[in-house]
Structure 1
Amino acid sequence: MFYNDVELGLLTYKKINAPVLNEEGNIQFYINGSDTDFSRCNWEPTEYRKYRDDEVGRICKKYGAGRVLIFDGDKLKEEIRAPECKTHVYYNGPLNCFILLYRITKDDRFIRNMAKQNFLIPVRIMTKKDGYPEIKYLSSTKKGSDTRYHVLFSDHEEYNKWKKATGGVGFNDLIQITAAKLFSLDKAHGGNRTYELCINPYGNKLILEKEKRRVFYQSVKEKQQRRK
């Protein structure tokens, strides 16, 4: 068991149910019985329990945390390396970290950081009558609106949450793309570059619309130009 079988609470944000990351991107646990008042904070420890090494390792891998901080009250008791996580599940720790930090800070620099990362996109491969395959990319609409969204995922865990909730609606193939390729995805939607972005709709969710969507696409365009 992790940390000598001691009951710990993972420090999480109250409103978005995600771990608190410090400035270095590390996650934080509190020892059960810690004398700390969280009533005036935007975060609090989860229910105290014993964690397995692989559980903590998976959390660290998902959010790109290299270290784990153990607190006893307001005192940092120990800082340890993130446990090893052996898994075939694809995670993009930096991307999940940038999504989370943007949700908290609303700082556009995290949108620009996202634009440099890889995303997972479900596709449906259709066979046309002429024998040539046609690729359909996943998109969605907001209830009561005609606004369309590209639907993207940061990792397999986030994708599986959507698939479990929706049944996958026929999208059984995944492709991993760079953000630069995302810039040309609008060709699959009739060349409409006004599509908004919906990332991780059933988990570490983020909606980028209007100006925020333009910040993302502009950052991708700049990345393309630097490569030329």
Structure 2
Amino acid sequence: MNHETQPSTAAPTALPTATEPNGAGSVGSAEAPLRVVLLVGSNRSGRFGPVVARWLLDLLAQHPELDAEVVDVADPPLPAALTDRPTPEEAAQLASVQRRLATADAFLVLTPEYNHSYPAPLKNLLDWYRAEWQAKPVGFVSYGGVSGGLRAVEHLRQVFAELHTVTVRETVSFHQAGAHFDDEGRHRDPGGQADAAAKALFDQLTWWGLALRQAREARPYGG
């Protein structure tokens, strides 16, 4: 069954509008912040993902080495068919996402758990691109019921291995996610265990992001 906790009607659901890359963290600037793309992986009606995403973005804003933006599978959805003849509107959307993924130094994936795995729109996003993922680190934040989305994360690790990424060890997982946030979408335990887990994840993502950015600059990846 699906395990995406429903938000209360008062919880914010909108996410910041994605912007085109501004070059921060791109190749050739070793001192620049790492450009992290947060992938919001659910497009389900009434989804809880934006609540967790806003919490993550607030924490990322406190991490000076990371510069984050959002790619949301629901804004707008990519074509479901992997066609070589997309419509002009589809081609423009695909190109916009491609530019943001290509200039990223690292990725964070936010996923619920659907039927012991991750949502189909997230797999669709991953399958549309290949070189954009390669030789970059990816971290995971999951949410759901009893499992906290961890089974979805384990499946994603296999997929990202095929895409030549480096998955970091630390994760953030919200079990019974709705209980961790109030009706306004605020985390009920600021500075607690979830914040500490996020810091550990960000620290690992930063280490790998810097190391792999330097490696790509020194020698282009040939995967």
Shorter-chain TM-score range: under 0.3
Bigger proportion of residues as helix? 2
The structure with more radius of gyration: 1
Normalised by the length of structure 2, the TM-score is: 0.25
